[in-house]
Amino acid sequence: MPFDLAARLAERRAARLFRQRPLLDSPQGPEVVVDGQPLLAFCSNDYLGLANHPEVIRALRDGAERWGVGGGASHLVIGHSAPHHQLEEALAEFTGRPRALLFSTGYMANLAAVTALVGRGDTVLEDRLNHASLLDAGLLSGARFARYLHNDAASLAGLLAKAGGNTLVVTDGVFSMDGDLAGLPALAGECRKHGAWLMVDDAHGFGTLGAAGGGCVEHFGLGLDEVPVLVGTLGKAFGTAGAFVAGSEELIETLIQFARPYIYTTSQPPAVACATLKSLELLQGEHWRREHLQRLIDRFRSAAAEIGLALMDSPTPIQPILVGDSGRALRLAALLRERGLLVGAIRPPTVPAGTARLRVTLSATHSEAQLERLLEALAESWALLGEERGDG
């Protein structure tokens, strides 16, 4: 029977990989209501706590009253409103680049950048652990596509030596499931040696890394010459929605002319751009958010080590607890939920087989007391998990 969807779904359930959507019945924040249950959440990418900030909400509301709700059309028809333009100029200044270009989602920004820059006869090289949108973009580009070993500049160098045509090297800045940073200086050095361009998707770095929240490139002190193509999303530390690509005048104009995901999509609501302008102002002005977040990260890592949790090498708000087996990861998440905490269990195919994990994410709006509650629940649940397996 063709299209035996029931069998596909049954197979996924049997492998403990079936996904279900939790129903959120409250705004984003540390304390949420999910599926009717009040919970303390450690699974949102709202790293700076701006998604429910009253000033951002007010900017959205005022923007809707001034500019309406829908974008109305693509940017190239009549959908490019003044707030969009103002936000692009502000993001260009924030990233220290000549221009920036808005997109409705990070997935679209990545598809647009890669497919507009390389095609048949060219080469795109990507980190093995890149986000799905980056991998899909490479495959859809029509260019010769290969993946180098995770964060391995020597592996990349070997592939660069065999590359043909225009060559684009693509990496996440912060890897979303591991929380580690790409070794951008070494990658940029290899790109420079071989005449390739480096594209960095810094979705999880913007706002949280760098002295001014400028992300991985600021953290490593890199500029336009080292990273010609810089992508950022607005639905994480910025707390709103959408994404952008920042780079040279020629890069942005090339995307406007040739990037199909940009040309053939209605612009985001202009009120969202108004809200993002306010969140950018807060991100730049309220340094205490990053400082408090760093204290939470440091405390979590030290206490988790004492509990005996297997953490990954992450200096970011993404703090994965490696469990291994998908069933055990689900069980650990369930034990935490019984104690009033919500942490996402991440399983294949999102992560490699045998590396299921709990993905703890911290926010500047988490209090120290809330973090201690998480740590206490983790210690108790981890011990129970070991007893159930017979470790004790």
Look up the CATH number of the domain holding residue 192: 3.40.640.10
Give me the pLDDT at residue 13, please: 92
Q: Which domain holds residue 112?
A: 54-285
Q: Could you tell me if 186 and 276 lie in one domain?
A: yes
Q: Could you tell me if 298 and 199 lie in one domain?
A: no
Q: Which of 257, 285, 313 is the last residue of a domain?
A: 285
Q: Sort residue 253 into left (φ over 0), alpha (ψ -120 to 50) or beta.
A: alpha
Q: Could you tell me if 204 and 110 lie in one domain?
A: yes
Q: Give, for all 392 residues of the chain, the pLDDT tens digit.
A: 588 999 999 999 998 888 889 999 999 999 999 999 999 999 999 999 999 999 999 999 999 999 999 999 999 999 999 999 999 999 999 999 999 999 999 999 999 999 999 999 999 999 999 999 999 999 999 999 999 999 999 999 999 999 999 999 999 999 999 999 999 999 999 999 999 999 999 999 999 999 999 999 999 999 999 999 999 999 999 999 999 999 999 999 999 999 999 999 999 999 999 999 999 999 999 999 999 999 999 999 999 999 999 999 999 999 999 999 999 999 999 999 999 999 999 999 989 999 999 999 999 999 999 999 999 999 999 999 887 776 65
Residues known to be catalytic: 176, 204, 236
Mapped to the 3 state alphabet, what secondary structure does the chain carry? CCCCHHHHHHHHHHCCCCCCCCCECCCCCCEEEECCEEEEECCCCCCCCCCCCHHHHHHHHHHHHHHCCCCCCEHHHHHCCHHHHHHHHHHHHHHCCCEEEEECCHHHHHHHHHHHHCCCCCEEEEECCCCHHHHHHHHHCCCEEEEECCCCHHHHHHHHCCCCCCEEEEEECECCCCCCECCHHHHHHHHHHHCCEEEEECCCCCCCCCCCCCCHHHHHCCCCCCCCEEEEECCCCCCCCCEEEEECHHHHHHHHHHCHHHHCCECCCHHHHHHHHHHHHHHHHCCHHHHHHHHHHHHHHHHHHHHCCCECCCCCCEEEEEEECHHHHHHHHHHHHHCCEECEEECCCCCCCCCEEEEEECCCCCCHHHHHHHHHHHHHHHHHHHHHHCCC
Give me the pLDDT at residue 388, please: 76
Give me the pLDDT at residue 17, please: 85
> Using CB atoms within 10 A of its CB, is residue 133 exposed (0-12), middle (13-18) or buried (19+)?
buried
Q: Could you tell me if 234 and 148 lie in one domain?
A: yes
Please indicate, yes or no, if residue 1 is contained in any of the structural domains: no
Please indicate, yes or no, if residue 10 is contained in any of the structural domains: no
Give me the pLDDT at residue 391, please: 61
Give me the pLDDT at residue 1, please: 55
Q: Could you tell me if 137 and 163 lie in one domain?
A: yes
Please indicate, yes or no, if residue 310 is contained in any of the structural domains: yes
Q: Could you tell me if 31 and 66 lie in one domain?
A: no
Q: Could you tell me if 275 and 291 lie in one domain?
A: no
Q: Which of 221, 256, 285 is the last residue of a domain?
A: 285
Q: Could you tell me if 68 and 208 lie in one domain?
A: yes
Give me the pLDDT at residue 179, please: 95
